[in-house]
A and B are shown apart, each in its own frame.
Chain A
């Protein structure tokens, strides 16, 4: 009965689209399927992909964090100013991660303890963290990070024997871990319960507030790590690094079929969404399609990603209803 909706699940569709884009790209565009290009294309999505993991968990639980890109910027600015002050890089990284976790804690505290909507809170902290980033670093740009670390983040340095750059390899490992956590543990399944019906989850004995707090801390932590990756990858720490990236992350996650209302979606879908936007943009760039058109394509894909599943469900529902009304008449 529900065959249409069953096989046309949006995350499957995104996966198929991803393969189609890849095949079409390697068929039509010279140099697209080259390992060097793929490494570069993948590495360009590194920060978005990393942040998309905790963001998926948040959206599944019916929350959203708009402050991630600002946290990325804050972490980058902090790393830059500490590096300029002569700190060792090995010390800077944990400090940045700590600041990220604290920022996430503030978000989570405001959402769970004060009871504010996450959208309003994180619009506020979006402004706050970006502001702190420019307080920390001003309009300076810090470069000259240690060669060994900078090399680690570039796409030219890959995991031996493959075309996968190190940040993406790390992302792959984290993605597998997150997928297992989300889909195969009580923790992950609780997130679906929270997203679907928060009160019901609470009465079922799920520690709703604690779980949400953990998710926000996780998002801040990963965002600050992404800030370090960003800084190393571009070799430059600036306060406005990653400006507006939060919308791209959310667009990717939603494109992968994670329902913004919470309770639905898979991590595989979100990862496919990230890769789809990354590969598509790379392919369009190789074909000399201007950046503006890429932006339009992203927007249309986003609208389609939410509209299509709803159209499919309403069509199949209507068909079911018609079948239900027709059945007694024939019997």
Chain B
């Protein structure tokens, strides 16, 4: 926390932009020349409102470019390093046991990770705004069961089921979102409360019953088992949601504003960003994604008990954090979060294939998580001080 004030918030940066562009004109409040190198270091794409400076100021060109490419590298390095770790893990496991990457193996990997990837995408949108949604696990459980009991013994189509799931998820997300944005209560507490409430409703409704795969219409089950060109639907759906979210976060004004809110809520407010509406939308989105995941859970497994996805909230948050989305908000991409989710699931499968004692799995996950956030922090400190030295020169 203590080093946050040093980092200029995206909204403030944005305010400074016009001044930076006309570097030949005398600076308005004496701010421009001194600050220029400072905000050039925020050329990373994913930290704030259009932080990329298309027309770089005339200041020392070569130096500026190298600073920028260094920053680019560092912040892309996050996704790169996770991708690299994932690759090493997959290759290593494959070398040790080739059956890990045969057709069935790949299919299993994709299927096992797709729901977590989906949830991670939703969660990262919330975490980017410096909030958290702990209720996702119970929303998945509730919607999976609700969709299951809705379609049991009927011949509803897969589309209806998915829409029902999304609708229910949005409802849950809106309740949390309203409490967080308009009730101004801490996100962790509210979503923890919602976790209990939704879980309680789910269990009370299910009452120990379960949804049987034999009662679920084939159309719905087909969503979980069908494939195009040998690729199952589920990972395709996750990839599509992921791509859409990433595009929105990166390109649209609303998406950039989410980063601004997470970087510095006060500055975002002063910049005129409708914080409440954006945060509410982020929660609604996270809820929608969780509801969608619930419907897909039903399609994938067919048999659903009340505590489906019980305790997943922390796994989802873990994969988001491993994926480089800062829990303090404003930093990270959904791609990173998705890679984090992939890494966690792949590691689980790899340990099974390598016949590592399954008891070790959780401990290794924990070490990985700690290593991820620690490296992040250290790299961050190093680059900040390196860049400060550079800008002093």
Contacts and interface: CB of A to CB of B under 8 A. Distances in A.
Contact of A303 (B3, B190, B327): B190
Given A110-B374, A115-B377, A131-B361, A302 B196 contact: yes
A116 to B, nearest CB: 5
Interface in A281-301: 290-300
Contact of B373 (A120, A243, A244, A295): A120
Q: Which of A115, A120, A138, A251 has the most CB of B within 10 A?
A: A120
A247 interface: yes
Contact of B204 (A244, A296, A306): A296
B186 A303 contact: no
A298 B203 CA distance: 14
A138 B366 contact: no
A1 B357 CA distance: 64
B370 A121 contact: yes
Interface string B113-146: 0000000000000000000100000000000000
Given A261-B186, A296-B204, A124 B192 contact: no
Contact of B370 (A124, A138, A293, A294): A124
Interface stretch (B59-67, B254-262, B290-298, B311-319): B311-319
A296 B199 CA distance: 8
A94 interface: no
Contacts of B318: 123-124, 127
Contacts of B203: 291-292, 295
Interface size, A (range)? 35 or more
A285 to B, nearest CB: 15
B365 A127 contact: yes
Contacts of B363: 127-128, 131-132, 134-135
Q: Which of A126, A128, A130 has the most CB of B within 10 A?
A: A128
A4 interface: no
Contacts of A239: 359
Nearest to A313: B184
A125 interface: yes
B363 to A, nearest CB: 3
Nearest to B381: A115
B183 interface: yes
Q: Which of A131, A132, A251 has the most CB of B within 10 A?
A: A131
Contact of B199 (A139, A295, A302): A295
B189 A124 contact: no
Nearest to B378: A114
Contact of B365 (A131, A199, A254, A296): A131
B373 A247 contact: no
B197 interface: yes
Contact of B184 (A120, A198, A243, A310): A310
A300 B192 contact: no
A95 B381 CA distance: 37
Interface string A295-323: 11111101101110011000000000000
B366 A124 contact: yes
Interface in B286-323: 311, 314, 317-318, 321
B369 A123 contact: yes
Closest 6 CB pairs of A and B: A128-B366, A131-B363, A299-B196, A131-B362, A296-B200, A127-B366
Interface of B: 1-3, 132, 179, 183-186, 188-190, 192-201, 203-204, 311, 314, 317-318, 321, 327-328, 357, 359-367, 369-370, 373-374, 377-378, 381
Interface of A: 64, 66, 110, 114-117, 119-121, 123-132, 134-135, 138-139, 198-199, 202, 239, 243-244, 247, 250-251, 254, 260-261, 290-300, 302-303, 305-307, 310-311
